[in-house]
């Protein structure tokens, strides 16, 4: 198994209520799961291949809870990646070169019945984890944004965190809200629902806590 490491930032947005029951091993708010994700890799490698500065994303959908399977995914890879970088990023994103159950990529890979052809495109991502703000665009494929939760009385930004010391995605995430629209081959619409913003550090053995 080739060793790899990713350090960076993520923006994930799904159709669940703020906070997302999945983070607590509960069933999704509306019975199904639809989501988009984006990761900015600040530092990373797979074997001898550097991944610094690249971006990846996904569009995902499941007819029920994620662990029940039957899902579909569109992998998105930064068009700036060369042929070798594209290959190893897709290996990481599809759970290869990874211990069983160690990362979100590996776990989710076991739940997809349909894996659409990867999209190699420009990924525009402006992401501030601490501010709980993000804009995420892949021209012709998706537009998404995230922002902080708001106190319903004062309108002030409300800060809430989720800490998963044994999680397979992040150690701590900031909780916010988001909106997204995607197109074929996996068209979904998300409006004022759960979003999370996190610093990531993971490798072939899982999240570095």
pLDDT tens by residue, 55-68: 999 999 999 999 99
Residue 162: predicted pLDDT: 98
Residue 40: predicted pLDDT: 98
Enumerate the β-bridge partners of residue 114.
72
87 band by pLDDT with thresholds 50, 70 and 90: very high
187 band by pLDDT with thresholds 50, 70 and 90: very high
Residue 198: predicted pLDDT: 98
Residue 163: predicted pLDDT: 98
What's the mean pLDDT when you consider all of the chain? 98
Mean pLDDT of 126-137: 98
State the Cα–Cα distance between residues 185 and 138, nearest whole angstrom: 14
Over its C-alpha atoms, the chain yields an Rg (Å, rounded) of: 16
- Going from N- to C-terminal start, the domains of the chain cover 4-207
Residue 200: predicted pLDDT: 98
How many of the other CB atoms lie within 10 Å of CB of 27?
15
State the Cα–Cα distance between residues 141 and 154, nearest whole angstrom: 36
Quote the percentage of the chain above a pLDDT of 70: 100
Residue 148: predicted pLDDT: 98
């Amino acid at each position: 198994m080739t060793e790899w490491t990713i350090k960076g930032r993520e923006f994930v947005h799904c159709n669940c209520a703020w906070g997302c029951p999945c983070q607590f091993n509960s069933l999704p708010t509306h019975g199904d799961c639809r989501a988009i994700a984006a990761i900015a890799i600040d530092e990373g490698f797979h074997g001898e291949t550097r991944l610094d500065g690249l971006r990846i994303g996904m569009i995902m959908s499941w007819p029920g809870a994620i662990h029940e399977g039957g899902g579909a995914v569109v992998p998105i890879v930064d068009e700036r990646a060369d042929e070798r970088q594209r290959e190893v990023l897709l290996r990481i994103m599809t759970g290869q070169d990874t211990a069983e159950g160690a990362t979100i990529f590996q776990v989710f890979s076991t739940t997809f019945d349909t894996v659409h052809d990867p999209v190699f495109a420009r990924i525009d991502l402006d992401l501030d984890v601490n501010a709980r703000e993000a804009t995420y665009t892949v021209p012709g494929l998706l537009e998404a944004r995230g922002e902080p939760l708001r106190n319903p009385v004062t309108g002030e930004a409300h800060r809430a965190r989720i800490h998963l010391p044994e999680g397979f995605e992040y150690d701590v995430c900031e909780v916010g809200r988001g909106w997204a629209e995607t197109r074929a081959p996996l068209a979904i619409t998300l409006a004022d629902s759960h979003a999370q913003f996190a610093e990531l550090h993971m490798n072939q053995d899982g999240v570095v806590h």
